[in-house]
Amino acid sequence: MKIKIIALGKIKEKYIKNGIDEFLKRITPYASLNITEINPVEIKDEALISRALEQEGEKILSYIKPTDYVITMEIKGKEFSSEEFASCLEELTNAGTQEVIFVIGSSNGIGQNVSARANLKMSMSRMTFLHEFARLILIEQIYRAFKIIKGETYHK
């Protein structure tokens, strides 16, 4: 299975980048995972947030094919346990899904145009995380999911 994460913004903190790189290396035996970083639209006026989200959404959607299974990370999305998330990925694999795309929006969220394209809206938690942490947590959970699916030790 191919997995792509489309994320707005770049990772600035070295320790987070190191964590992401470590889990990307660990995922390699299970899946191909690529990250596409998109520069967020600069917002100079809070009244223009919805327009900025729409513009960011247009950029995001340009990376998504009609056949891709899209999971957006949204505050009001469905919450999963690690086992439930693993089951979701396993079902997608068994259904023959070629590519799963996770979308992490900007600090202002995700545009309606991207949310409307989602096959699944997922929330990591009711808590709010820095977007850099969200990316690290998501990648770690993808790795954990593959370990659960394979019945390998890691998940406890």
Question: Which of 15-24, 50-59, 113-122, 135-144 is predicted least confidently?
Answer: 50-59
**pLDDT digit string (tens) for 99-139?**
999 999 988 889 999 999 999 999 999 888 888 999 999 99
Q: Does 123 fall in a domain?
A: yes
Determine, yes or no, domain membership for 35.
Answer: yes
Q: Does a structural domain hold residue 11?
A: yes
Domain span at 102: 2-40+49-149
Q: Strands (DSSP E) along the chain, which ranges?
A: 2-8, 32-38, 69-79, 99-104, 120-123
Q: How many domains does the chain have?
A: 1
* Rounded (10°) CA dihedral 21, 69, 119, 124: -10
Rounded to 5 degrees, φ, ψ at 75 are: -55, -40
Residue 69 in domain: yes
- First vs last C-alpha separation in the chain: 24
Render pLDDT for 61-100 as a digit per residue (tens, 0 to 9): 999 999 999 999 998 999 999 999 999 999 999 999 999 9
Read off the pLDDT of each residue in 36-62 and give the average, rounded to a whole number: 88
In a domain, 17, yes or no: yes
> Would 156 be classed as within a structural domain?
no
- The yes-or-no verdict on residue 156 having pLDDT over 70 is no
Q: Are 104 and 73 in contact (CB under 8 A)?
A: yes
- Specify the pTM: 0.93
| pLDDT for res 155 | 61
Instruction: Enumerate residues 6+ apart whose C-beta is below 8 A from 33.
Output: 2, 3, 4, 5, 24, 27, 139, 142
In a domain, 155, yes or no: no
Q: What is the CATH number of the domain that holds 145?
A: 3.40.1280.10
Give the phi and the psi of residue 70 in degrees, each rounded to 5: -110, 125
